A and B are shown apart, each in its own frame.
Chain A
Amino acid sequence: MKYKRDPKRIREVLGDKIQFILGDMACVYGGLLAGCSFFAGYPITPASEVAEGMARLLPRVGGTYIQMEDEIGSLAAVIGASWGGAKAMTATSGPGFSLMMENYGYAVMTETPCVIVNVQRTGPSTGQPTLGAQGDMMQVRWGTHGDFEAIALAPSTVQECMDLTIEAFNLAEKYRNPVCVMTDGEIGHLRERIVIPDEKELKIINRVPATIDKEKFIPFSNSQIQKNSKVPDFPTFGTGYHTYVTGLTHNIYGFPATDKQKDHQELVLRITTKITDDREKLTMVEKLYIDDAKIAVVTYGATARPAETAVEMARRKGIKVGMLRLKLVWPFPIKEIQNLASQVDKIVVPEMNLGQIVHPIREYSEGQCEVVNVPKVGGEMHLPHEIFKYLEGK
């Protein structure tokens, strides 16, 4: 039986409007609210609660949960489900994310909407399974081979785990690209209050289905329905379009064109610029005390929590410090960083890794200000004073 999103049933299954739940569980709620009807996953700490939540709730709304044999199969099944017309998602952490890299690239190349929740931990390798980190902020951007654009969101609260998972589905459907929710073991394992939005507050975007005459349909070109959209219309399998979908370089008809320079260039430019053309539209930042700031903390995900406390401490001492929080890390908000760098003397970048997002920040601040890397590794988030000491001008 094909899935139909039933808002009443979803709310019945989710329960009270205000709840006190785990970050991982909030990702489940976000998925269900967005209309996710298929989840495939593989147990991994600290992301297993997402799979457990889906296993419990998804069948109750009429969706399908399946535990696959590994993370490779999980993302494969998710992509297959998407071509069957489902909104589909998986959840994992570092080692599983590494295993997903090949099919992540396949989803990019075949323009398959899907959502990957990555409850990040550290590495290399198995690392610290039970502890949080921001280990995959670069892997999500560069981890699969070839040229592509990533779309990655980074929640800082449990509420945002839900909200940004909904957003992830919307962006995946809109751009026909995999979208990653880069949460982490800290936020994933926190419990906080969430407020479940009413149906009328929800914005849900669905992929544009192919509706034009089957003889005239071109599966991998600019949209034939929407004006000025580089995102092709989606020919769901089983609707009679007889589409051939391949990870090989393909022409606009979907046929392999592996030895054709022009076809490859056209394809790769279209699937990257369909995202980067909208870079500024996509940018999602939160600003705190930025207007008169001379020092700025640029942060994302869990690290924003101690950073915010540190900024408040500094402000109480009269130091002109602001905070720019990236809710969407990729595609990178170039303009925001350029503007900020031209305003402040120093940008401080705390991360739960040895320095990942500090690199594009340095690149796009273009030498206009000092950029300071404040790494913390080992599975603990920064203490507020560990960030604060970089704000005192020392």
Chain B
Amino acid sequence: MGEIKTAGELNKKYLREGMWPTIFCNGCGNGVVLEYTFWALEELGLDMDKVAFASGIGCSSRLPGYINADGLHTTHGRAIAFATGLKAANPDLTVIIFTGDGDCAGIGGNHFIHAARRNIDMTVIMINNFIYGMTGGQLAPTTPIGGIATTAPYGNIEHPFDLCVVAKALGASYVARWTVSHPYQPIKSIKEGIQKKGFSYIEFLAPCPTAYGRRNKLGDIQRLWEWYDKNTILIEDYERIMKYGDEKEKERAKKMIQIGVFQDVEKPEFFTEYQKLVERLQGNTITKTSSVKSKKMVVKK
């Protein structure tokens, strides 16, 4: 640790060279999140032989391909379930999942819910671009009301899914959301998430200029960043307004997307508890098998 000072050095250490160049468009937020992750890994000083990545389907799910580490690029929405088995087989692995809003909140919602509920030790990094980007801009469960998508050409009328609220309600150990316009907090959150023994969920609002921006007058990356500025609010600010603000301020705050650390708690983790169960049973078995069977005798016909 401490050796690497520049992004160039960082990339040299963590990128998988054979996969270059990436499939990402200009202005895409995925690279930024990858960079955050590299800095977090570097600051933690983890042995990359013992860090494994998993992902589903979508642009963000391609990220493990660009990392010089073990990576399981799975089926659409199922990465968390795959990672559950991986973690069970080798609890020494640090397991990090890259997923997108369609992958995680749409097709993979149920796996997300149950891994959070079980509090399985893994870090889920969800990159939310409000749209199905890889397939060309279809409506996502996270698309804001009024947003335009190829499958919502007249504007979205569905209520968007807030996975941070869900993760928090399910008691996930660590829940945070940032945008890719934040410089340091994301790295800190990824570090905290990885270090947390339990289910960590970190969401990033990240631009997709090609599939979302272009259709929503946010094609210019500068405008997208401004949109994040105007439409997000720190949890602390939100709570202050709810306490002391006037009605107008409250109404406005309610329409904004909250960012920050939603939850940071210590809670029993699934495989840790499972290991205790195994140890408890191993103590018991021997007495159980040796006691009962004395009365039997074999009867010949």
Contacts and interface: CB of A to CB of B under 8 A. Distances in A.
Consider the complex of A and B and state whether they touch directly, i.e. have CB atoms less than 8 Å apart: yes
Interface of A: 1-3, 9, 12-13, 15-16, 37-38, 40, 59-60, 62, 64, 66, 68-70, 72-74, 76-86, 88, 102-103, 106, 235, 237-248, 253, 255-256
Given A1-B275, A60-B281, A69-B110, A84 B74 contact: no
Contacts of B68: 242
A248 B64 CA distance: 14
Interface of B: 16, 18-19, 48-50, 52, 54, 64-65, 68-75, 78, 81-93, 110-111, 113-114, 271, 274-275, 277-278, 281-282, 285-286, 289, 293
Main secondary structure of the interface of B (DSSP, over half): helix
Nearest to A64: B88
Contacts of A103: 75, 78
Contacts of A13: 285, 289
Contact of B85 (A84, A248, A253): A84
B87 to A, nearest CB: 7
A79 B85 CA distance: 7
A136 B274 CA distance: 34
A73 B88 contact: no
B71 A84 contact: no
What 10 pairs between A and B have smallest CB-CB spacing? Answer: A84-B89, A80-B85, A77-B85, A81-B85, A76-B81, A73-B81, A80-B82, A86-B89, A246-B73, A80-B86
B114 A80 contact: no
B85 A78 contact: yes
A296 B258 CA distance: 72
B70 A238 contact: yes
Contact of A248 (B18, B73, B86, B286): B73
Given A74-B81, A247-B73, 6 more contacts: A1-B91, A79-B74, A80-B72, A81-B89, A237-B86, A242-B48
A84 B286 contact: no
A237 B91 contact: no
Nearest to A60: B281
B75 A102 contact: yes
A85 B92 CA distance: 12
Contacts of B114: 68-69, 73
22 contacts: A2-B89, A2-B91, A40-B85, A59-B278, A60-B281, A68-B114, A72-B78, A72-B81, A76-B74, A76-B81, A80-B81, A80-B85, A80-B87, A81-B88, A81-B89, A84-B87, A88-B85, A103-B78, A242-B70, A244-B16, A244-B65, A245-B70
A158 B72 CA distance: 37
Contacts of B85: 38, 40, 76-84, 86, 88
Contacts of B275: 1
A84 B48 CA distance: 15
Contacts, number: 161
Given A73-B110, A80-B54, A255 B48 contact: no
Contacts of A12: 285-286, 289
Nearest to B62: A256
A240 B274 contact: no
Contact of A237 (B18, B70, B75): B70
A247 B86 contact: no
Contacts of B110: 69-70, 73
Q: Quick one: which of A37, A106, A242, A248 has the most chain B CB within 10 A? A: A242
B285 A60 contact: yes
Contact of A84 (B86, B274, B277): B86
A370 B25 CA distance: 62
Contacts of A102: 75
Contacts of A69: 81, 110-111, 113-114
Contacts of A1: 91, 275
B179 to A, nearest CB: 29
Contact of A238 (B18, B93, B271): B93
Nearest to A88: B85
Contact of B73 (A60, A70, A84, A244): A244
Given A82-B85, A247-B73, A253 B92 contact: no
Contacts of B281: 59-60
A13 to B, nearest CB: 6
B86 A246 contact: no
A253 B81 contact: no
Q: Quick one: which of A13, A74, A77 has the most chain B CB within 10 A? A: A77
Contacts of A241: 70
A243 B71 contact: yes
Contact of B92 (A2, A72, A245): A2
A60 B284 CA distance: 9
Nearest to B71: A244
A237 B90 contact: yes
A166 B163 CA distance: 42
A253 B16 CA distance: 12
Nearest to A237: B70
A211 B113 CA distance: 38
Q: Quick one: which of B54, B74, B113 has the most chain A CB within 10 A? A: B74
A81 B68 CA distance: 21
Contact of B69 (A80, A242, A255): A242
Nearest to A80: B85
A97 to B, nearest CB: 16
A81 B19 CA distance: 25
Contacts of A77: 81-82, 84-85, 88
A86 B271 CA distance: 15
A85 B89 contact: yes
Contacts of A59: 274, 277-278, 281
B49 A238 contact: yes
A2 B69 CA distance: 20
Contacts of A247: 73-75
A242 B64 CA distance: 10
A82 B72 CA distance: 12
Contacts of B278: 59-60, 62
Contact of B274 (A64, A70, A81, A242): A64
Contacts of A66: 84, 88
Nearest to A250: B73
B73 A83 contact: no
Contact of B19 (A37, A60, A244): A244
